[in-house]
Amino acid sequence: MMAIYKRSIAAKLVGVGSALAIWSSQAQAAASSVLKPDDFVGISFWLISMALIASTVFFFLERDRVAAKWKTSLTVSGLVTLIAAVHYFYMRDVWVSTGSTPTVFRYIDWLITVPLLMIEFYLILSAITKVPAGVFWRLMIGTIVMLVGGYVGEAGYLSVWPAFIIGMAGWAYILYEIFLGEAGKINAQSAPPSVQSAFKTMRWIVTIGWAIYPVGYFFGYLTGSSPASSMNALNIIYNLADVLNKIAFGLIIWQVAVTESESAAKH
Ligand SMILES: *C/C=C(C)/C=C/C=C(C)/C=C/C1=C(C)CCCC1(C)C
């Protein structure tokens, strides 16, 4: 019974994966121009779309392998890559068919996926200990300030420098909370070693991995170089940052979930 049930879930997931892949290639065919061999930014949009689909199927299927308390974390990782995959199809179309930067799609994607990544932090800690909801809301406020700052700058509602500073302030607040605030303290006090090390790794992802985005913004808007080359730099930097922060971040959680589940099963 269980085996049949599991097989049918696997079959559905493979179905979802191929539907996404077909949709993605149809969207490509409908675009007025095709991907050019020297359009490296467009190629990166394409490659990452596919990697995001594969990661989604992987995270969802791997839920079967881990203990109950880790399943939600893997679900959330899969949702992050699924939502990003869909946005990448649209972003790729905008880029390939018009040559312009898909700012709106980018920020809609971030507005959904960054809070989901914040939920991941909260879940990792909650799998081990009781965490006050205030931690979660403070991380959320920092996220919103950071993204609104970035958007008003990139979309032209505010000059690029002040907008950048607002965005940086939101990010600084998130870093404060996870290093020196309550989230950091809870982790140091109550989490077992493997979770502590995962929490530390995730913390470095939010520091080093997330730092790539303001670098992208900087090269996109603040160097004064030509619009064409700065938009190439902006998109390629944001795209690489997403590989690290969405796929690699999910893999770290997957790794902890598997390790913790297997060691719990031995006891
Ligand atoms: C999956 C997408 C992720 C993890 C996106 C993260 C985005 C950021 C960390 C953006 C940060 C920015 C600043 C810190 C300054 C202002 C400009 C932003 C929005 C690019």
The residue to mutate among 146, 160, 173, 234, having the most atoms of ligand 1 within 8 angstroms of its beta carbon, is 146
The residue to mutate among 107, 168, 213, having the most atoms of ligand 1 within 8 angstroms of its beta carbon, is 213
Listed range (145-149, 176-180, 242-246) with the worst mean pLDDT = 176-180
Residue-averaged pLDDT of the chain = 88
pLDDT of 37 higher than 80: yes
pLDDT at position 56: 98
Region of 100 on the Ramachandran plot (φ > 0 left; ψ -120 to 50 alpha; else beta): beta
Name the pTM for this structure. 0.87
Cα→Cα distances 68→97, 149, 154, 198, 258, Å = 45, 38, 42, 18, 11
Atom of ligand 1 nearest to the CA of 151: 19
Helix (H) or strand (E) holding 185, with range, is helix 182-190
pLDDT at position 26: 63
Q: How far apart are the first and last CA of the chain?
A: 27
pLDDT of 29 higher than 60: no
How far does the centroid of ligand 1 lie from the alpha carbon of residue 212, in Å? 8
Q: Determine which residue's CA is closest to atom 7 belonging to ligand 1.
A: 213
User: Going by C-beta distance under 8 Å and a sequence separation of 6 or more, which residues neighbour residue 108?
Assistant: 87
Region of 181 on the Ramachandran plot (φ > 0 left; ψ -120 to 50 alpha; else beta): beta
Residue with tokens 């913004």: 217
Phi and psi torsions of 26, nearest 5°: -70, -40
Q: Determine which residue's CA is closest to atom 10 belonging to ligand 1.
A: 213
CB of 134 closer than 8 Å to CB of 151: no
Atom of ligand 1 nearest to the CA of 217: 20
Listed range (3-7, 98-102, 164-168) with the worst mean pLDDT = 3-7
Higher pLDDT, 163 or 182: 163
Q: b/e map of 150-183 (b: 16 or more CB within 10 Å)?
A: bbbbbeeebebeebbebbbebbebbbebbeebeb
Atom of ligand 1 nearest to the CA of 117: 4
Ligand 1 shell residues, CB under 6 Å: 110, 113-114, 117, 146-147, 149-150, 164, 167-168, 171, 210, 213-214, 217, 242, 245-246
Domains delineated in the chain: 2-266 (1.20.1070.10)
